[in-house]
């Protein structure tokens, strides 16, 4: 069974009397433990599509299934609960909470959406910080660590709830080439170790050349699906 499947997916925004069609009748299927990228020029619909897959923005047409559940018509509360249980997010600006330590940032999703005992939470966070190579930074604040370290923390936070789907919006945009390469390799390792599917929205050729499947969007339409094997 596909982890993500869309059929005739559409998204239309209303700006006064003007209708803006951001996604137009898109069909695609993504298997579990995949490494996939959506690419295209600015305004092509990449971020809108990621927001729908992530249950942040409901479709206005078609159907969308994520982790075996039809998420097309979820209420806001249902969508929030589903996100917390099934989906992790990585952003280009990291989105770490500045007043929380590295450890607390990774722990935060467990505190918010799952009733985990404190000891179990700490064990899970420590394991992931070690896995992404920043366990020695756990007591520092985001402002005290490098961009590459922040992205490693963001990856740990995305995986801490056990999410099998991680959505990454331009995750290497603010990183130098060497650091970006390490982050991509780290995510590939996480995919291998945890069976996680990573879906990227990106302009970065460094990401594109490392994924298995590339979907090209233009004007909200899926123009091409390229498999790298």
**pLDDT digit string (tens) for 174-211?**
889 999 999 999 999 999 998 999 999 998 999 999 99
pTM (2 d.p.): 0.92
Q: For residue 98, give every residue at least 6 positions away whose Cβ sits within 8 Å of its Cβ, in sequence order, or none.
A: 141, 142, 143
pLDDT category of residue 229 using cuts at 50, 70 and 90: low
77-88 per-position pLDDT tens digit: 999 989 988 999
Q: How far is the C-alpha of 169 from the C-alpha of 89, rounded, in Å? A: 8
In order of 62, 180, 229, the CA distances from 52 in angstroms are: 12, 26, 26
pLDDT for 112 equals 80
Q: How far is the C-alpha of 49 from the C-alpha of 45, rounded, in Å? A: 6
* 45 contacts 23 by C-beta, under 8 angstroms: yes
pLDDT category of residue 227 using cuts at 50, 70 and 90: confident
Q: Tell me 219's DSSP state.
A: T
3-state class (DSSP) for residue 149: helix
Sheet holding 213-218, edge to edge: 87-91, 165-169, 197-201, 35-39, 213-218, 221-227
Instruction: Show the domains of the chain with their CATH numbers.
Output: 4-227 (3.40.50.300)
């Amino acid at each position: 069974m596909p982890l993500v499947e869309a059929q005739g997916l559409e998204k239309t925004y209303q700006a006064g009397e003007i209708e803006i069609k951001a996604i137009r009748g898109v069909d695609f299927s993504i298997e579990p433990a995949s490494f996939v990228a959506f690419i295209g020029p600015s305004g092509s619909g990449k971020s809108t599509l990621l927001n729908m897959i992530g249950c942040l923005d409901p479709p206005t047409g078609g159907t969308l299934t994520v982790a075996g559940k039809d998420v097309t018509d979820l209420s806001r509360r249902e969508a929030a609960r589903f996100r917390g249980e099934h989906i992790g997010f990585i952003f280009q600006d990291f989105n770490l909470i500045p007043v929380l330590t590295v450890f607390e940032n990774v722990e935060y999703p467990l505190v918010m959406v799952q009733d985990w005992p404190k000891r179990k939470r700490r064990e899970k966070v420590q394991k992931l910080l070690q896995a992404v190579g920043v366990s020695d930074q756990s007591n520092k604040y985001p402002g005290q660590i490098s961009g590459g370290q922040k992205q490693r923390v963001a990856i740990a936070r995305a995986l801490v709830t056990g999410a099998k789907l991680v959505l990454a919006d331009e995750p290497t945009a603010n990183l130098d080439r060497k650091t970006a390469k390490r982050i991509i390799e780290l995510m590939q390792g996480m995919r291998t170790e945890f069976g996680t599917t990573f879906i990227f929205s990106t302009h970065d050729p460094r990401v594109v050349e490392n994924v298995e499947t590339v979907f090209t969007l233009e004007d909200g339409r899926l123009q091409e699906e390229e498999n790298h094997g």
